[in-house]
Amino acid sequence: MSGRIPTLERIDGWRWRVPRTGAMRTEGRVFASEAQVADLAGDESLRQVANVACLPGIVGPSIAMPDIHWGYGFPIGGVAAFDPSEGVISPGGVGYDINCGVRLLSVPLGIVDLRPRLAELVDALFGAVPSGVGSARSDLRLTDPQLDRVLAGGAARAVAMGFGRDQDLEAIEAGGRLPEADPGRVSRRARERGRDQLGTLGSGNHFVEVQWVDDLLDATLGEAFGLAPGQVTVLIHTGSRGLGHQVCDDHLDTMLAAARRHGIELPDPQLACAPLGGSEARAYWGAMNAAANFAFANRQLITHHVRRTFGQIYGAGVEAGIELVYDVAHNIAKLEEHEVGGRLRRLCVHRKGATRAFPPGHPELAPRFRDSGQPVLVPGDMGRASFVLAGAPGAAAETFASCCHGAGRRLSRHAAKRAAARRDIRAELEGRGILVRAAGRATVDEEMPEAYKDVAEVVAAVAGAGLAVPVARLRPAAVVKG
């Protein structure tokens, strides 16, 4: 990365400017509170905001959400839009875990009804959804033709395979399928890595978390989303597994060569990119969309296994009553129409650790969400809370309809493990009534609550800036970690 770490200029209580200097083609814009900005002083992620602003064809500012932290190329929590005729696509603006995202289920149980058999439930979930590094399913290994159909069909293909319901699809971003996927662009190595991983969590910060609505912050929107006080919910966080990671890895070198060939000066080689419409961009685009479809299908299979597990513990009526509230991607690039300078423009929007947040009335939303706006799902950490928000007009006006995606790390994984070395994080959480099942101690230590920013403060910042409306706060009861 080049240059000094920029100093932010205050615009108002929730907006900060990274001034345009040097090779920057536009300014940066950071959404955060004053206290959050103080924590960012000297942080490398701010340099990454400035670096993204140097890429050709960028439209509007290089944007960062309040959960910003350092990432590969783009900061995590970064958003940038590019003109298709002049701009670029960058794998660093999508991330290694393509379409890492979150899915929220509503369960027809109250927290009081859940508690007596909660330990039995979390043990069963841990057995039903494989987790950990390299986790795979022994009951599902896809042939090449089967994998092609998943890569092309996404969640719809999973439903056709018997893993879900047709009505699930209208509660998924893009209907759970990106039509420009090209399975032929997915390498043999990527296929081998993903072949037996459909329906698995993976490792790191991925999880299945059983929660309940402990505060309904907007009763009207809560009713629209099917949420009520005390109701049990399940939040699923995972992505495209080894397949998506390999797709990213496969294209970095060709993107870097393309940038050199087209005379694109990169402030950081991790911003390797290619002009949109060129052969390198088309190859990555087809493979990236296919990996995103794999992730939608992955979360769909996990949903099936969660429903079935609840049915085994609490009965068939509970299984039948589990509904999909919404599913959103937060590592993706998509072609969307946005109003810029008073006119609609088709743009390639990169969201790296950021969530789409369409406001009420947006034509891409399913009819059931036209009046409410899109549900925005914001996980926190194992010990505090997660939030449900709704997209607001401010996001459409300022952030290409984007919002935060989580709490955001404040400690590296290594620092978290060091801080947890003399503690028993699992026992501490269970002492607070939160049951934890994980593949090993290292994962729990890396994901200790103190490793993350306070998600309530992140949500307060996006709400204060008018990007989203808080709907519900969800408290953890049990978590299965990757």
- Structural domains of the chain sorted by starting position, each given as residue range(s) with its CATH number in brackets: 101-250+273-334+356-481 (3.90.1860.10)
Taking the mean position of all CA atoms in its chain, how far away is CA 345?
Answer: 25
| 405 assigned to active site | yes
Q: What is the pLDDT of residues 109-132, one digit of tens each?
A: 999 999 999 999 999 999 999 998
If residue 146 lies in a helix (H) or strand (E), which one and from where to where? helix 144-160
Residue 427 confidence (pLDDT): 93
> Backbone phi, then psi, for 475, in 5-degree steps?
-100, 140
Which of 2-6, 145-149, 207-211, 424-428 is least confident? 2-6
Is residue 42 scored above 90 in pLDDT? Answer: no
Task: Write phi, then psi, for 406 (nearest 5 degrees).
Answer: 175, -165
- How high is the mean pLDDT of the chain? 96
The pLDDT score that the predictor gives to residue 168 is 98
Between 5 and 160, the more confident residue is 160
> Do 32 and 297 meet the contact criterion of CB atoms below 8 Å apart?
no
Of the candidates 107, 168, 102, the one whose C-alpha atom is nearest the C-alpha of residue 377 is 102
Of 119, 104, 103, residue with least CA distance to 313: 119
Catalytic residue among 206, 237, 405, 414, which? 405
- Residue 354 backbone dihedrals phi, psi, to 5 degrees: -145, 150
Say yes or no to pLDDT of 216 above 50: yes
Q: How far apart are CA 378 and CA 146, in angstroms?
A: 33
Cα distance between residue 157 and residue 437, in whole Å: 30
Q: Please, which pLDDT band fits residue 2 given cuts at 50, 70 and 90?
A: low
Query: Mutual orientation of helices 279-314 and 144-160 as an angle, nearest 10°?
Result: 50
Q: Identify the pLDDT of residue 134.
A: 85
Whole-angstrom CA distances from 155 to 50, 105, 137 are 36, 15, 18
pTM over 0.75: yes
Distances (CA, A) of 467 to 246, 359, 411: 33, 9, 26
Residue 251 has pLDDT above 70, yes or no: yes
Distance CA 444, CA 200 (A): 18
The conformational region for residue 214 under phi > 0 = left, psi -120 to 50 = alpha, else beta, is alpha
For residue 136, what pLDDT band results from cuts at 50, 70 and 90? confident
Q: Is the pLDDT of residue 215 over 80?
A: yes
Residues in the chain: 482
Flag whether pLDDT at 3 surpasses 70: no
Q: Is the pLDDT of residue 1 over 50?
A: no
At 69, list the tokens. 């932290």
pLDDT band per the 50, 70, 90 thresholds, residue 4: confident
| Cβ atoms within 10 Å, residue 461 | 25
CB 366 within 8 A of CB 434: no
The conformation of residue 269, written as its DSSP 8-state character, comes to: G
Region 157-174 average pLDDT:
97
